[in-house]
């Protein structure tokens, strides 16, 4: 039997079988070891190399079941760390138009973290009902830049389901995980997409006097021939293993400009730096360049620790 791990709780895996049933099982002690590229902690170089590791199943894994246990993990198409999940097709980045206030820096930070994991983000702006028409037009204009970079932007009001059809189309037959700040409207969006579904949202938990509710672990929910997962997302201090030198490669438009220096970090006043020049000429969106500098600083502060 074959299935997909959709949740993991204290060593017990919830697996959706191909025949439609859901079972709760443990994993066999001796799962196959595999060769993969990873940082070899034992080596002095601490470089990525081919190492043999013992795999344990994680959410998203396609697994084989024998004698009511997971006996094998099928090769992963990919595997991301935040959230810790395998075989992800896309990440739906959820940002509120307002409440919390829209932040271009956070958007850029989240996009870079997603690209670092080799996934392309799809952006959804929720709570469009909280903006006036003029404000919404302005935001849409500013986000045009992101569409030009190749990141599609969708606009929804989850309360009235306005704009939900477009989201739904993108999710069909895919494994999608939601990511975004707490309060952005991720759980509400899932509830709006799946009829009869009632994930706990912030409004409800406030009403119960329990304070802020955050989604602690990933669960995949069946949706339109694929799966959708609610996750806690990153925090504004997360910078998933991104090194200073590679940061500019995660700002895709920077590659359109030549910087003649090998070790340039493209900071302000760097003489002869094509990227800084492009910023001065406003060919690169100024807020993108500012985000880049802010992330460089964040990485520097992490390195000092």
Ligand X SMILES: Nc1nc2c(ncn2[C@@H]2O[C@H](COP(=O)(O)OP(=O)(O)O)[C@@H](O)[C@H]2O)c(=O)[nH]1
Return the bridge partners of 51, or none: 36
- C-alpha of 76 from chain center: 17
Q: How far is the CB of 157 from ligand X (least distance, A)?
A: 4
For residue 50, list its beta bridge partners. Answer: 37
Contact 246, 48 (CB under 8 A): no
Binding positions for Mg ion, 215-244, rule CB under 5 A: 215
- In angstroms, the CA 83 to CA 91 distance is 10
CA atoms within 13 A on the CB side of 15: 29
> Which residue shows structure tokens 């929720």?
126
> Is residue 177 at the binding interface for ligand X, with CB under 6 A as the rule?
no
CA separation for the pair 113, 130 (Å, rounded): 28
Q: Binding to Zn ion by residue 264, rule CB under 5 A?
A: yes
Number of residues that bind Mg ion (CB under 5 A): 3
Using CB under 6 A, pick the residue from 87, 113, 126, 179 that binds ligand X.
Answer: 126
Half-sphere exposure for 43 (CA within 13 Å, toward CB) = 10
Q: Return the residues of window 128-157 that contact ligand X according to CB under 6 A.
A: 129-130, 157
Tell me: does residue 7 bind Mg ion (CB under 5 A): no
Our CA angle for 247, 141, 99, nearest 5°, is 80
Residue closer to Mg ion (CB basis): 157 or 202? 202
- Residue 85 vs 275, nearer CB to Zn ion: 275
**Applying CB under 6 A, does 229 fall inside the site for ligand X?**
no
Among 113, 124, 158, 187, binds Mg ion (CB under 5 A): 187
Question: Considering beta carbons, is residue 197 or 261 the nearer one to Zn ion?
Answer: 261
Chain residues binding ligand X by CB under 6 A are 126-127, 129-130, 157-159, 180, 182-188, 201-203
Chain residues binding Mg ion by CB under 5 A are 186-187, 215
């Amino acid at each position: 039997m074959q299935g997909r791990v959709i949740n993991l709780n204290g060593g017990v895996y919830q697996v959706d079988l191909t025949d439609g049933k859901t079972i709760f099982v443990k994993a066999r002690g001796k799962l196959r070891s595999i060769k993969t590229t990873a940082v070899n902690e034992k080596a002095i170089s601490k470089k990525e190399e081919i190492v043999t590791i013992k795999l344990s199943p994680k959410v998203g894994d396609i697994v084989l079941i024998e004698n009511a246990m997971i006996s094998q993990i099928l090769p992963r198409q990919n595997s991301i760390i935040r959230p810790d999940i395998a075989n992800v097709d896309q990440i739906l980045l959820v940002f509120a138009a307002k409440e919390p206030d829209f932040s271009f820096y956070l958007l850029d930070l989240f996009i870079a973290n997603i690209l670092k994991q080799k996934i392309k983000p799809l952006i959804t702006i929720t709570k469009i009902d909280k903006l006036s028409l003029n404000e919404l037009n302005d935001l849409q204009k500013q986000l045009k830049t992101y569409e030009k970079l190749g990141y599609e932007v969708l606009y929804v009001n989850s309360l009235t389901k306005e704009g939900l059809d477009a989201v739904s189309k993108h999710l069909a037959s895919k494994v999608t995980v939601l990511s975004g700040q707490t309060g952005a409207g991720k759980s509400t969006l899932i509830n709006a997409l799946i009829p009869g579904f009632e994930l706990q949202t912030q409004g409800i938990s406030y009403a119960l006097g329990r304070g802020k509710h955050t989604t602690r672990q990933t669960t995949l929910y069946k949706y339109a021939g694929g799966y959708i997962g609610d996750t806690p997302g990153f925090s504004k201090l997360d910078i998933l293993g991104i090194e200073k030198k590679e940061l500019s490669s995660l700002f895709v438009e920077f590659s359109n400009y030549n910087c003649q220096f090998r070790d340039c970090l493209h900071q302000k006043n760097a003489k002869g730096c094509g990227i800084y020049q492009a910023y001065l000429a406003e060919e690169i969106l100024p807020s993108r360049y500012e985000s880049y500098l802010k992330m460089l600083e964040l990485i520097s502060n992490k390195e000092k620790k």
